[in-house]
Amino acid sequence: MACKILKYLLGVIMAILLNHGCVVETLSFSEINMDLQFNYTDEPVHHIRRRSTDPVEYIMVVEMNVSETVAINKIRSSVTAVTLPLQVDNGTKITALNISTVCSLNQTQYQCKCEDLFVWPNDTCHLYKACDVITDGSCTCINGLPTDGQFCQGEYEYETEIDVSVFDLLLVNYLRNLVRNVSLPLTLSNSINVTDIDMTTVCGLNETVYECKCEEHHFWPNDTCRAFQVCDGIVGGTCGCIQALPSEGPLCQRDIDECLFRLSVCGPNSTCTNELGSYNCSCSGGFTATNSNLPISINNTCTDVNECLKTSEFCGPNSCCTNSFGSYNCSCLSVFTVTNMNQPISTSNWGCARKLDNPTTAVAE
């Protein structure tokens, strides 16, 4: 079955190449040794304990040599355009088709770069010297052609919760300090890295009831706070302590700083303030919400305030107010000058009073 899929997949790739006029170093695929050109796993991807009626999944790696750089882009766009799943026969179909790695000779050495959503694992990055930055235990470019035939791997993230039972408060503090001092990323294998580790919730018996308290920068969501009795208070729809040990559902959640993406949250000309489990948007000085009846957001952004329309005497007597983006300017009318040259023109400075031959301009506060 694996060979049938390989041959079918080979036909698909050949059709892509011929339709786009790509130049391939070897065109006589009937003479190719399959063991040299393909790698595939006979082990199913899903759980090893399966019934015989369960479908078997294979991951196959196809290595292609092309002699023109333009062919890579043509293959890339063609693979993206393939409609999946691709039916081979009544019992076989191709569910995914990706380009993972592109290797080329860069002056004196090979560079192998990963396509989108693929990465080199941590060990490979260090073994072949990464040609970009190693982030969270992975990179996307190495200075070499791996001798073991390994190519870029799909980048997947999993979040796992682990319950730890301890009977001594000292052990809780020990675990807390241990977690804080872990050097990340933590490499478990060539393809698995732990990129983040947190202690979220501590539960203990307080006299007759359990109390579950959130660690710093974590919170119980609103639904959980209202489902159980809180032992602190509900602020902004969140709480930090409940008098219960939830039998199901997530534990305390980590606060996300939405303000790191201020422009996409509050919009331009605004200030974003992060809050536990939430955030608050306010307009910068000289700006106001487009609709004052709605909260400030990307859909209700801050617009310029025309201070000069607020009052005709905004700058004081014998003066002229000119609005500017986020601010305003005051200037004296002809033959008048500012009352106090050490202060800007304003109502508190009595505007402009003394006659002069030339007008004087001052900047507003």
Structure confidence by residue, pLDDT tens digits, 283-307: 998 899 999 999 999 889 999 988 8
Q: What percent of the chain has pLDDT over 90?
A: 16
**Inter-residue contact 248 to 237 (CB < 8 Å):** no
pLDDT of residue 48: 37
Structure confidence by residue, pLDDT tens digits, 260-275: 876 778 989 999 998 8
Cα angle, residue 141 at apex, residues 137 and 147 outer, rounded to 5°: 95
**Ranked by mean pLDDT, which of 10-24, 149-163, 224-238, 343-357 comes out on top?**
224-238
Do 54 and 70 belong together in one domain? yes
Do 266 and 322 belong together in one domain? no
Do 6 and 144 belong together in one domain? yes
Do 56 and 37 belong together in one domain? yes
Q: Rounded distance, CA 307 to CA 285, Å?
A: 11
Place of tokens 């078997």: 56
Structure confidence by residue, pLDDT tens digits, 312-331: 567 888 888 888 888 888 88
Do 77 and 117 belong together in one domain? yes
Q: Rounded distance, CA 272 to CA 282, Å?
A: 6
Cβ-based burial of 240 (10 A; exposed 0-12, middle 13-18, buried ≥19): buried
* Confidence class for position 112, pLDDT limits 50, 70, 90: very high
**End residue of a domain, out of 111, 132, 154:** 154
Mean pLDDT of the chain: 77
Do 13 and 131 belong together in one domain? yes
Token digits for 268? 């331009």
- Average of per-residue pLDDT across 66-86: 82
Query: Does the residue 280 lie in any domain?
Result: yes
CATH of the domain at 295: 2.10.25
Q: Rounded distance, CA 44 to CA 47, Å?
A: 8
**Inter-residue contact 308 to 337 (CB < 8 Å):** no
Query: Does the residue 189 lie in any domain?
Result: no
* Confidence class for position 32, pLDDT limits 50, 70, 90: very low
Backbone φ and ψ for 200, nearest 5 degrees, come out as -105, -40
Place of tokens 């939830």: 246
Q: Rounded distance, CA 296 to CA 269, Å?
A: 11
- Average of per-residue pLDDT across 8-18: 52
Domain ranges, residue 262 = 258-304
